[in-house]
Amino acid sequence: MPRKSLVLLLAFLLGRIASLAAEPASATLVIRADQPGAVIDRHIYGHFAEHLGRCIYEGIWVGPDSPIPNTRGIRNDVLAALRALHIPVLRWPGGCFADEYHWKDGIGPREKRPAMINTHWGGVVENNHFGTHEFMDLVELLGCDAYITGNVGSGSVQEMMEWVEYLTSDANSPMANLRRANGRERPWVVKYFGVGNESWGCGGSMTPEFYAANFRRYNTFVKNYDHAHPIYRIACGANADDYGWTEVLMKDAAKRMNGLSLHYYTLSGGDWDKRGSATEFTETDWFNTLRRTLHMEELIARHGAIMDRYDPQKRVGLVIDEWGNWYNPEPGTNPGFLYQQNTLRDALVAALNFHVFQRHADRVAMTNIAQTVNVLQAMILTEHEKMLLTPTYHVFEMFKVHQGATSLPVELTTPNYGLGAEQIPAVSASASRDAAGHVHLSLVNTDPHTAITVTATMAGQTAAAPTGRILTAATMNAHNTFAAPDAVHPVPFTDAKLAGGRLTATLPPMSVVILEL
Ligand code: AHR
């Protein structure tokens, strides 16, 4: 173990011993089962897979001739892991890649497909072996919805129009017949279509006015060939706190869109030059990462307030189609591949964001963490034939009970966790009621030193004896490796009790808990 890691481990263990000796702090919670809120769209638990580094190639696609067990070229281990998450939607092909992707290069016999340079991500040669048919096969194998992003930056209106016809038309028409000639008789269902990506940046460096006009133009030709499944059109939205972008898009184009996107990445040091290491970090980095990720609350509130002025009925969904931690790439890897490890800190970031999204379930229609495999805050890491599940994966799996459930407001009184003058709430909580009437409560303790006893009551429903699971570890930077793939995984949580209608749960430091009441 490197010396720095050893020092960090000792410091954390000392803190842990001190915390065990100390009395737990306390928090109180009322679950308002008598005041149900909005339904938590299951697409809030969505994913994003780009032609970037080893996300698609190796991470998902190994080809039908690979010794790695696969279904028509898609690796079986990754398929099974994603199915277990009940993955609701997958966004593809980018990202920045989407605005240089020409879909006709990705159809027909694979050996005849032209190659291209992936200019954004390492300058590698993309062979187009994973294209429209392979992606739609993947979503059908996963049983999830497709979210395809079209090329506005370097593509034509005609190209986008023809792609939609190729994908969704059942007519005796040129593109539908081309699809049939390539082996797919029936059209596919494409539920979501993005009209460009980051059009303010890698997608064309456009002003909001110029993009709004382009959105109106391109979107006109995203036709609904399949009237039983009208396409949900997503306009490119703001970069983090660019509220001016949202204002212009809502003013100029709200009536023509179903969703407006938002991208926000958590940078541990608060700057693209200070992204920090995924695994070698201090408590200050831990604290700042959690504090910065909670900025999502303000972003949703403020973008949402602008949307409310133009769309008080909340018809247009906020689609946070890129979010998560963005650290420095792992040393020794191609910096253009954005490969990073994933620790307990990432698990807390995922859980905190889900609590924010669920609080705003009336406006947030979908989110897509960046990205599914081997890129940024991934669910899954692969090394040739090996695969591991990250701490972030486990949060998605634990929280899947919230998908499609009705959010229940929570009234929480919590101590703060702070460093210096800055403070964040030590406890974060979110509750929902599923179709069968079960209430699920998820809890996070952000404090790495202090256990917290949460005392909870429920208004409007009687709680049953709780069962649950917990994700925690002895160190902040605990993570799974190919040598120890199961170092961080959920285990049964036995520290929750019900007595006299009152639930008490003692959350160990730096933990994520899911309870069924
Ligand atoms: O997710 C990685 C990149 O981040 C995406 O390609 C782009 O949209 C964003 O800048």
> From the CB of 198, is ligand 1 less than 6 Å away?
yes
β-strand pairing of 25-32 with 452-459: parallel
> From the CB of 50, is ligand 1 less than 6 Å away?
yes
Tell me the pLDDT tens digit for each residue of 136-170: 999 999 999 999 999 999 999 999 999 999 999 99
Residue 24 pLDDT = 80
Centre a 10 Å sphere on the Cβ of residue 222 and count the other Cβ atoms it contains: 20
Residue nearest to ligand 1 atom 5, measured at CA: 95
| CA nearest neighbour of 453 among 445, 442, 462 | 445
What one-character-per-residue DSSP string does 63-97 give? -TT-SS-EETTEEHHHHHHHHHTT--EEEES-SGG
Residue 376 CA, closest ligand 1 atom number: 1
Long-range contacts of 203-209 (CB under 8 A, 24+ apart): 203/96, 203/98, 203/99, 203/152, 203/153, 203/236, 204/99, 204/152, 204/153, 204/154, 208/244, 208/245, 208/247, 208/248, 208/249, 209/248, 209/252
Residue nearest to ligand 1 atom 3, measured at CA: 95
162 is catalytic: no
Catalytic residue, from 50, 58, 134, 198: name it: 198
* Residue 491 Cα distances to 57, 442, 481, 509, 510, angstroms: 32, 15, 18, 15, 15
Q: How far apart are CA 364 and CA 380, in angstroms?
A: 25
Residue 11 pLDDT = 47
Distance from residue 166's CA to the centre of ligand 1 (Å): 26
Residue 463 pLDDT = 87
Is the sign of the CA dihedral 66, 72, 73, 75 positive or negative?
A: negative
Q: How far apart are CA 367 and CA 294, in angstroms?
A: 15
> From the CB of 321, is ligand 1 less than 6 Å away?
no
| CA nearest neighbour of 90 among 160, 43, 130 | 43
Catalytic residue, from 298, 322, 397, 516: name it: 322
Distance from residue 453's CA to the centre of ligand 1 (Å): 39
Q: Which residue has the tokens 């890649």?
A: 97
Residue 22 pLDDT = 56
> From the CB of 262, is ligand 1 less than 6 Å away?
no
CB 45 within 8 A of CB 403: yes
CB 466 within 8 A of CB 496: yes
Q: Is 190 exposed, middle or buried (0-12, 13-18, 19+ CB in 10 A)?
A: buried
> From the CB of 370, is ligand 1 less than 6 Å away?
yes
> From the CB of 268, is ligand 1 less than 6 Å away?
no
Centre a 10 Å sphere on the Cβ of residue 251 and count the other Cβ atoms it contains: 14
pLDDT tens for the chain, 517 residues: list them. Answer: 455 455 444 544 444 444 444 568 999 999 999 999 999 999 999 999 999 999 999 999 999 999 999 999 999 999 999 999 999 999 999 999 999 999 999 999 999 999 999 999 999 999 999 999 999 999 999 999 999 999 999 999 999 999 999 999 999 999 999 999 999 999 999 999 999 999 999 999 999 999 999 999 999 999 999 999 999 999 999 999 999 999 999 999 999 999 999 999 999 998 999 999 999 999 999 999 999 999 999 999 999 999 999 999 999 999 999 999 999 999 999 999 999 999 999 999 999 999 999 999 999 999 999 999 999 999 999 999 999 999 999 999 999 999 999 999 999 999 999 998 999 999 999 999 999 999 999 999 999 999 999 999 999 999 889 999 999 999 999 999 999 999 999 999 999 999 999 999 999 999 999 999 9
Q: Is 237 exposed, middle or buried (0-12, 13-18, 19+ CB in 10 A)?
A: buried
Residue nearest to ligand 1 atom 1, measured at CA: 370
Q: How far apart are CA 506 and CA 124, in angstroms?
A: 50
Substitution site in 322, 326, 327, 367 for ligand 1 pocket (most atoms within 8 Å of beta carbon)? 322
> From the CB of 236, is ligand 1 less than 6 Å away?
no
* Amino acid identity at 331: P
Cα 91 to chain center, whole Å? 10
322 is catalytic: yes
Residue 7 pLDDT = 46
Substitution site in 47, 263, 325 for ligand 1 pocket (most atoms within 8 Å of beta carbon)? 263
Tell me the pLDDT tens digit for each residue of 396-423: 999 999 999 999 999 999 999 999 899 9
Centre a 10 Å sphere on the Cβ of residue 357 and count the other Cβ atoms it contains: 26
Q: Which two tokens stand for residue 245?
A: 């972008």
Q: What are phi and psi of 11, to 5 degrees?
A: -60, -45
Q: How far apart are CA 492 and CA 443, in angstroms?
A: 14
Residue 121 CA, closest ligand 1 atom number: 6
Q: How far apart are CA 173 and CA 171, in angstroms?
A: 5
> From the CB of 100, is ligand 1 less than 6 Å away?
no
> From the CB of 361, is ligand 1 less than 6 Å away?
no
| CA nearest neighbour of 475 among 6, 2, 1 | 6
